[in-house]
Structure 1
Amino acid sequence: MKKLVYVFILLLTAGTLLTGCREKKTAGEKIEDGIEEIGDGLGDAADDVEDAMKE
């Protein structure tokens, strides 16, 4: 029974440590990522329109 408790505590501690080490982005980095995603989407849409015009 004690071993089971120790294993549970070990897993809980490991889970807490692994989820607590996430990299946090600043507001500026989030904005840059959003702008890049929009740019990629616009580029894809432009390619689709170009392909449609060729057909």
Structure 2
Amino acid sequence: MMGLMKLGKTMSASLVVGVLLAALTGCQKQEGPAEHAGKEIDKTTDKAGQQIEKAGDRIQDSAKGDKKQSLYRTLRPT
């Protein structure tokens, strides 16, 4: 009799855990087309922002280089 009760409790607990797991996995919402498009737009704008930053750095480096060349030409005896 005790073995049967223990088996019943174990099975009940297993059933509850199984139902909870099924409910949790069922609640995960699938990504819709708008969400997918939004994520792609985010990726694209991030990449564009990185490229713009690189271009800005290059411009600043070029400007610094030109200033050095300009100063060199000014101080250099002719």
Given the two structures, how large is their TM-score scaled by the length of structure 1?
0.68
Which structure 1 residue ranges, 4+ long, deviate > 3 Å from structure 2?
none
Aligned-pair CA distance for 1:45? 3.9
Please list every run of 5 or more consecutive structure 2 residues that lacks an aligned counterpart in the other structure. 1-6, 62-78
Please tell me whether residue 32 in structure 1 is matched to residue 41 in structure 2: no
Quick one: distance in 2 between partners of 1:45 and 1:5? 59
Correspondent of 1:22 among 18, 25, 28: 28
Residue identity (%): 19
Alignment: residue pair count: 53
Task: Give the unaligned 5+ runs of structure 1.
Answer: none
Based on CA coordinates, which of the two structures has the bigger radius of gyration? 2
What is the RMSD computed on CA atoms of the aligned residues? Answer: 1.9
Tell me the TM-score normalised to structure 2 length. Answer: 0.53
Provide the rounded CA distance (Å) in 1 between the counterparts of 2:32 and 2:24. Answer: 21
